[in-house]
Amino acid sequence: MADWSVKRLKEAGADSIKFMLYYDVDEGEEINRKKQAFVERIGDECVAEDMPFFLELMSYDANIDDTKSAEYAKVKPHKVNAMVEEFAKGRYNVDVLKVEVPVNMDYVEGYNGDNEVIFSKKQALNFFKEQDKATAGIPFIFLSAGVSAELFQETLKFAHEAGSSFNGVLCGRATWRHSIEPFAKDGEKAGREWMRTTGRKNIEDLNEVLAATASSWESKVK
């Protein structure tokens, strides 16, 4: 986006700025310093234009291809929480962090199903506590990362149990992804019916969970 700036986006009608960053905290300084400087520039421009800055953080490991694997699950808490700690620093001028949950719940005791247990419930709770501390008081919302609606709702309850002060969610695939099957099999009418019934219920159920688990962002904003 060499020909765009926050000023130009504002002039085009934008009322906030969202940037998604893929980041491996253990990658070389040659790469990460460039990413950090780029985010700093966006943050500075947002301050100058009085525009809210939403930063979406996506973790990865340069040496692990599958972020859903057991191998990655073992390092995910470190990858996610260290990344959050970095970009919660004041130098980036972020207003809202959009973050992954710090553990893959498919490998947590009691949530693992047929998968191996990599972390006990106590360990997983501590990772959520560490993440909350790492945000340094900046409002943050959880990404659903495409897990099932049921697992995402259970994860939010788990985060609340840990004392996480998360302020909401950005939820896409966890709500609607299963609409693809009836749409592909039986056409548009079936897809719309799924969205009207099951999809709507997913959203209503999620709203109920959020009402009981999420915290107001107002307490974090001066």
Q: What is the pLDDT of residues 139-186, one digit of tens each?
A: 999 999 889 999 999 999 999 999 999 999 998 888 888 899 999 999
Q: Where do the domains of the chain lie, and which CATH numbers do they carry? A: 6-220 (3.20.20.70)
What pLDDT is recorded for position 121?
98
What pLDDT is recorded for position 2?
83
3-state DSSP call for residue 140?
Answer: strand
Rounded alpha-carbon distances, angstroms, from residue 91 to 141, 164, 179: 20, 24, 42
pLDDT tops 80 at residue 18? yes
Q: Work out the pLDDT band at 50, boundaries 50, 70, 90.
A: very high
The C-alpha atoms of residue 2 and residue 148 are separated, in whole angstroms, by 37
What pLDDT is recorded for position 70?
97
Q: What is the mean pLDDT of residues 10-31?
A: 97
| pLDDT over 70, % of the chain | 100
> Average pLDDT of the chain?
96
Instruction: Centre a 10 Å sphere on the Cβ of residue 187 and count the other Cβ atoms it contains.
Output: 10
Q: Is the dihedral of CA 10, 12, 16, 18 positive or negative?
A: negative
Q: Which residues does residue 98 pair with via DSSP β-bridges, in sequence order?
A: 56, 141
User: Starting from the edge strand earliest in sequence, which strands make up the sheet with 140-143, in order?
Assistant: 17-23, 53-59, 96-99, 140-143, 169-170
Q: Where are the beta strands (DSSP E) in the chain?
A: 17-23, 53-59, 96-99, 140-143, 169-170
Q: What is the mean pLDDT of residues 118-125?
A: 98
